[in-house]
Amino acid sequence: MAAPFADSRAAYSVLETRVNRALQTQLGDAARLRLQRDEAFRLLESAEPHRHLFPLAEYSILQQSIASMTDQLDEACHLSCTSHA
């Protein structure tokens, strides 16, 4: 039953790469930034039913990391929208 745990780790790694790339290359494209934010929320939602498989500290780090990603993406989205206003 550890497969969801391993899948979440792999998905997080891919998400982290995509978010970092989006923050570096997609400033000004609020729609694409929002897509990455939505992906981050989906990852956390998909991990939630399996949280009992995660070590407590690791799940907490996942939550904090996703929150940080979404905050950064929201800020980039805001800057993207205000720079075109």
What are 49-69's pLDDT values in tens digits?
989 988 999 999 999 999 999
- In the prediction, which pLDDT does 61 show? 95
- Weakly modelled stretches of the chain, pLDDT under 70: 1-5, 83-85
d(C-alpha 58, C-alpha 80), whole Å? 32
d(C-alpha 62, C-alpha 24), whole Å? 22
Q: Residue 63: what residue type?
A: Q
pTM of the model: 0.85
The long-range contacts involving 21-29, CB below 8 angstroms and separated by at least 24 positions, are: 22/73, 22/76, 23/72, 23/73, 23/76, 26/76, 27/76, 27/79, 27/80, 28/80, 28/83, 28/84, 29/80
d(C-alpha 49, C-alpha 14), whole Å? 20
